[in-house]
Each structure stands twice: as C-alpha cells, then as structure tokens.
Amino acid sequence: MVLFQSPAVRVALSVAIATGLYGLSFGALSVAAGLDLLQTMALSLLLFSGGSQFAFIGVIAGGGSGISAMSAAALLGIRNGVYGMQVNVLLRPSRWRKLAAAHVTIDESVATATGQTDPAEQRRGFWAAGIGVFVLWNLFTLGGALAGNAMGDPARWGLDGAAVAAFLGLLWPRIRAREPAAIAVVCAVVTLLAVPFVPPGVPILIAAVMAAVLGLAGLGPATEGLEPDVEPYPSGSDDDAPGPGSGPRPAKHSRGRGAGA
C-alpha cells in the first residue's frame, strides 16, 4: 500500500508497537495498585498519557487519595497542552478533527510529526502515531490488567510496591546531567522530610512544585519527557528511518501518551 511507503507512517508504526507494549506493565501494575479492570481501562482510554497514568497509580499504591493522584497526573499532563498549541499551528486540523487531535496529542505523535519537513508527512505521522499508540496501548493495557487479575493478591507475589518502582524506573534514565540530578536529590530530600507531616500522596505534589520552581529558576530545565520517544529525522531519509518493530530511537528532547498512554 502507498500509505506504508510513507517514512512518517513507518516510523509511527514502530513507535506505536514499542510504546503499546508498555501498556502491559501499566495494566498489571494498575490492578496491583488496587484499581479494578474498568478503572484501569478508563485511565488508558480517557487519560491516555503514560507518564500521568503511572504517576496516578503510583500515588494510589503509596496510599494517597484520589485528589492527590489526579493532581500528580495533571501536573505531568500539562506538557500535552503545550504540544496542542504546536500541533494546532503545525497541522491546522479542521474543526471536527480538533477534538480527536487533542486526545492523541502525546509525545510520540508530536515527535513523529515534527520530525518531518513535508506538511503531508507531518499529518500522516501525527495521526498514524497517535491512533496507533492509542489502539495498541489500550489493547495491551487490557491484557496486562487481565493478567494482573489472574495473579490475585499482589502482595503475595511481592508486587505491592511495583507501581512506585515502575514510575521511578521511568524517571531514572532521564537524570543524565548534573543539573537534573541535583534537582532530583533536592526533591527527594524535601519529599522525605514532608512524609511525616502531610497525608499520603501530598509529598509527590510538593516534589513536583519544587522541581518546577527550580527549573524556572534556571537550575536545569527538563529536556526529556517521562515516556518513550522517537528522535526526529529529516524527511525523505528512508535509509535512516527505522522500520516497523525496530523500536524508537532515544530522544534528544521531550515529546509528550501515556499511556499516553
């Protein structure tokens, strides 16, 4: 098919497969955190931002309230609003498509679109990545949640703290430079000091505010997101474009799914 000859679509498909697989871990960890199947699927279908979703279940698993979990997820989801402004200028979606475009404006779709120079390829890349990740993320979330239900009590398998560990696993690879590491240490200390004095879930909000303040103060702005990304490449470079299933390349800057996702 002509569509699959598009370099943007080929990249989008490989990114969708690689990112969608993360849905397995989210589904299983969400159930382990205490959410049921319907609640888990609602997060993937409606929130659809992986970093925000992992933050949500991380707070819940740590004993935080629903309000604390939603606040943490919202803080991480702010970047998608910024992406939305960029997508609106870049793609200029028609009125009826704006709602759908807003829902699939995630790191992967924006990175795939902005990695192209041809306007038609930008549109193909955005929609192929956005829709592809959405479909696969939710399918794999369902599979992970069903597997998590079959396992029964997560504490029996030592998985009661897995959601928090998974969120830390997403964060750790992003701390590569001196400034982000310093911010992470300061936020960790502040969080530990706050734990005895505030309700569960609130320390993570305090840490998020502290990180934002330090970033705005110029101590080290974040350059990458919390989810898998794809490095933009020049349009037309078919030899350099990864094929379906080859996985995303490391990103040099933030994107924005979740799962996404």
pLDDT at residue 221 is higher than 70? no
| Direct distance between the N- and C-terminal alpha carbons of the chain, in angstroms, rounded to an integer | 28
- In the structure, what pLDDT confidence band is assigned to residue 166 with cuts at 50, 70 and 90? low
Domain positions in the chain are 7-216
pLDDT at residue 50 is higher than 70? yes
Contacts of 181 (CB under 8 A, 6+ apart): 175
Euclidean distance between CA atoms 10 and 7, whole angstroms? 5
Q: What is the pLDDT of residue 167?
A: 55
Q: Which tokens hold the place of 86?
A: 């960029």
- Mean pLDDT of the 106-133 span: 90
Outline where the chain has alpha helix (H): 7-20, 22-32, 37-42, 50-61, 66-91, 95-103, 107-114, 119-151, 162-171, 178-194, 202-216
Q: What is the pLDDT of residue 39?
A: 95
- In the structure, what pLDDT confidence band is assigned to residue 48 with cuts at 50, 70 and 90? very high
78 in Cβ contact with 49 (< 8 Å): no
228 in Cβ contact with 95 (< 8 Å): no
pLDDT, tens digit, 9 for 90 and up, residues 69-83: 888 888 878 888 888
pLDDT at residue 127 is higher than 90? yes
Which is more confidently placed, 62 or 236? 62
pLDDT, tens digit, 9 for 90 and up, residues 2-36: 566 788 899 899 889 988 888 888 998 899 888 99
Of 92-106, 196-210, 215-229, 244-258, the range with the lowest mean pLDDT is: 244-258
- In the structure, what pLDDT confidence band is assigned to residue 181 with cuts at 50, 70 and 90? confident
224 in Cβ contact with 253 (< 8 Å): yes
- In the structure, what pLDDT confidence band is assigned to residue 173 with cuts at 50, 70 and 90? low
Which is more confidently placed, 126 or 115? 126
* % of the chain surpassing 90 pLDDT: 19
The model's pTM: 0.65
pLDDT at residue 160 is higher than 80? no
Which of 192, 210, 201 has the alpha carbon at shortest distance from 164?
Answer: 201
